[in-house]
Structure 1
């Protein structure tokens, strides 16, 4: 499993291979705070939203989509920590340690890592101030991928999203695969991915 969330703050690239024949495009979002700045007939208008949105501004014939930052979702770290607690309760200390550490790491990353979907790319940023995440230490380059380079994406177990997958050609011409745990709203992630990167073959969360 690859995950910038597990590498603080970058996503880990997985081996360069495509997964099965079912996968078609995947990655998600974090903090649902949408910020848009619009200029219309000389007047500036600024809006702050939560969740996902569609059109931010129209200037002449150009349409600019607003920035989407999905809400954090703490379910995965809470489940892992609860499972670790159960293992401790039954005196299974050895397996409880790695499960608990993973839960704590994901809990920490859920509070700080943000997925920012702007009008042309998905970018990983850090904290409420949306600071730059820096260069990817595993494959190099910025943690920002244009939707136009996505070959496919998939959201796994959509009723309770666990993993997101996507493959892009920006990092490598032959395609680079990325995995990361869904520590943000799976429904918001799915909606913005469909809107920006096109539909996925099998993903479709029935629950938010």
Structure 2
């Protein structure tokens, strides 16, 4: 609510017909009323300022407690390795193995350019594209692709030196726990660091600096 002060001027009954002291009385009354209004305005402004300061302090307090949103950079090493293996298999005429590995490599290459892991203040969420569009419901277990850190039971990164899969188990989807596996198409070091910060330590060691 605003703290706007509306005040109406006082009406003075001056003895117009009286000559002696009429102007002096009028001035005294006017300036006296002006002082009263100023004191009232000051009290009102002090209350408004105090309330505004409390609101600002409250907002700043919430911002201080919040954590910044982290989005690990994309990583194309796994798709490149798979596509490289596909080329080697095709060169040796092993097309039966080359085709599925090549398709998987292409799929992960596309996914690495569009799928984002967004770590906000309270949850991990899967988003799509640079505009961070909603990824919809999980195609395998249902529910939104957003899981609060407080529901994480445990998580692992396989393998830390060259991360391929990230695994975590949460109780938000199912009370007994739901397991998730994702290919690591993100920067493994960034992913590990933010997972440790938001979801607690893992049994595995972190990826080595490249």
Same fold (TM over 0.5): yes
Quote the offset at 1:136 in angstroms. 1.3
Q: Equivalent residue for 1:162?
A: 164
1:126 to 2:128 alignment: yes
Bigger relative CO (Cα 8 Å, ≥ 6 apart): 1
1:180 to 151, 157, 182: 182
The separation in 2 between residues aligned to 1:172 and 1:197, in whole angstroms, is 18
Render the CA deviation track for 1:14-41: whole Å, top value 9, x for unaligned: xxxxxxxxxxxxxxxxxxxxxxxxxxx9
- Report the structure, 1 or 2, having the larger strand content: 1
The separation in 2 between residues aligned to 1:135 and 1:109, in whole angstroms, is 17
2:79 to 63, 77, 80: 77
Structure showing greater radius of gyration is 2
Q: Equivalent residue for 2:146?
A: 144
- Report the structure, 1 or 2, having the larger helix content: 2
Quote the offset at 1:201 in angstroms. 1.3
Task: Give secondary structure in 2 for the equivalent of 1:81.
Answer: helix
Q: Equivalent residue for 1:193?
A: 195
Aligned-residue CA RMSD in angstroms?
1.4
- The runs of at least 4 aligned residues of structure 1 exceeding 4 Å deviation read none
Q: Equivalent residue for 2:60?
A: 59
Please give the TM-score of this superposition, normalised by the length of structure 1.
Answer: 0.71
Task: Give secondary structure in 2 for the equivalent of 1:60.
Answer: helix
Structure 2 residues not aligned, in runs of 5+? 1-52, 54-58
Structure 1 residues not aligned, in runs of 5+? 1-40, 42-57
Task: Give secondary structure in 2 for the equivalent of 1:152.
Answer: strand
